[in-house]
Amino acid sequence: MKEVYENPLISRYATKKMAENFSDDKKFKTWRKLWIALAKAEKELGLNITDEQVQELEKYKDDINYDVAVEREKEVRHDVMAHVYAYGVQCPKAKGIIHLGATSCYVGDNADIIIYNDAIDIVLEKLVCVMDNLKRFALEYMDMPTLGFTHFQPAQLTTVGKRASLWLQDLALDYEEIIDLKRTIRLRGLKGTTGTQASYLKLFDGDHSRVKELEKKICEKIGFNEVYSITGQTYPRKLDSRIINLLSSISQSAYKFSNDLRLLQNLKEIEEPFNKSQIGSSAMAYKRNPMRSERISALSRYVLSLASSPAITSSTQWFERTLDDSANKRLVMPQGFLAVDAILNIYINVTRGLVVYPKMIEKRIMSELPFMATENILMHCVKNGGDRQELHELIREYSMKAGEQVKVYGKDNNLISLIIEDNRFSITSEEIEDMLKPKNFVGRAPEQVAEFIEKEIDPILSRHEELLGVEAEMKV
């Protein structure tokens, strides 16, 4: 048992992979990767840096002497300079050229972008796995009629698969946002203290072309295609806002799904997986609470609440930079990713084991379908010579009586019996029974599902086939 508070996103919810992505170890190893790229590029462009110095830096790129860095930071109160010092202790020959010409944001900001980009890849992997699960579910149940709801009031029929396609559509829109963000994400590059590259121009004796080439080379060595052409001391904090908005969008999609599923579980139509030994309630042993869906809702709400912080930070950066972004982004950015990682893990788990109860779905349909079928019955009887106005009034009166039977007395809907027993309708029970087949009321729902998946979902999944099949890690 721990004696101090631990972030539950780490201890209970998020995966080790995402947690490691935001670890200090990854951050500081990325700093060293950036320092090596800087030294190599500067050497290639003619600065007095030797192969021996670069090799020394390479030797210790993953072997960080944290004890030295920690003690040095206590003394100088500056994390970047503490790690420059610690690296220099290990690399005495290269000590003088580490961080040459750079400002703290060269390693800090570029490392953040690299880490965020890797985190987006983890999110993408899990998002397409959820999409694959929902695709399979939608196709399996695309023909199964179910009662549709508007305002959570009975409406026209849809199908179970069509409803799942609504959840899938939301994720497809999130996927588009991920791809757009991946396409436009860039490194900060080498811009110096106020973004003018003055220190690098000094290093290269006023040679603008070599300064431009230096930034290009570093970008290539780190594995990016582009840098921001214009920055102050930091990369534009609007990037953080864009990233959190993406995470918020995914959370909105998951939230919608989890709320729908919680309602469906209450209706006893569809349930999330429930383990054999799982306890639903400490007091009520019979209960099967939708705890996984509720956890999706809870974590999604948290991510939605985070979205305002980067927006405010981006709005309030003074001139070339101000440091009121640092503490905020240290909290918001990792935790946003960790929460969405947990959300998608649960989403994968739930959609892989959804339980459908066809008899309950059919029972609810048949309790409401008589009302929906009245227009078809009216048209049929008019064609057989009935008086449209008279029959319309009779249907209205009988609908009120049937509604009273259901809502006041708790009995079954007897509207169809009332109609059959009235000779003015001139319709047989066989004819009405044929009209009351639920499949007659779902419109193009099955075709819409098939067309949507073929046109929009299959191309996405085939593009990321190697990512499918991820096992969802749930700790509790």
First to last CA, the chain: 16
282: which 2 tokens?
Answer: 């400490």
Closest residue by Cα to residue 219 from 196, 193, 188: 188
Token pair 């969802």 is found at 472
Catalytic residue among 151, 209, 229, 462: 151
> What residues form DSSP beta bridges with 158?
146
Catalytic residue among 11, 23, 281, 308: 281
Q: What is the enclosing helix (H) or strand (E) of 403?
A: helix 388-407
278: which 2 tokens?
Answer: 């799982």
Q: Is 234 left (phi over 0), alpha (psi -120 to 50) or beta?
A: beta
Token pair 């099949």 is found at 469
Closest residue by Cα to residue 250 from 161, 123, 133, 163: 123
Tell me if residue 281 is catalytic. yes
292: which 2 tokens?
Answer: 């996984």
User: What contacts 464, CB < 8 A, 6 or more positions away?
Assistant: 124, 125, 128
Q: What is the DSSP string of 201-220?
A: HHHTTT-HHHHHHHHHHHHH
CB 353 within 8 A of CB 273: yes
User: What contacts 155, CB < 8 A, 6 or more positions away?
Assistant: 147, 148, 149
Count of Cβ atoms closer than 10 Å to residue 423 Cβ: 7
DSSP 8-state class, residue 147:
E
Q: What is the enclosing helix (H) or strand (E) of 173?
A: helix 160-184
The amino acid at residue 406 is V
The vertex-354 CA angle with 352 and 358, nearest 5°, equals 145
Token pair 């994720």 is found at 171
User: What contacts 108, CB < 8 A, 6 or more positions away?
Assistant: 31, 80
Tell me if residue 151 is catalytic. yes
Residues acting as catalytic residues: 151, 281
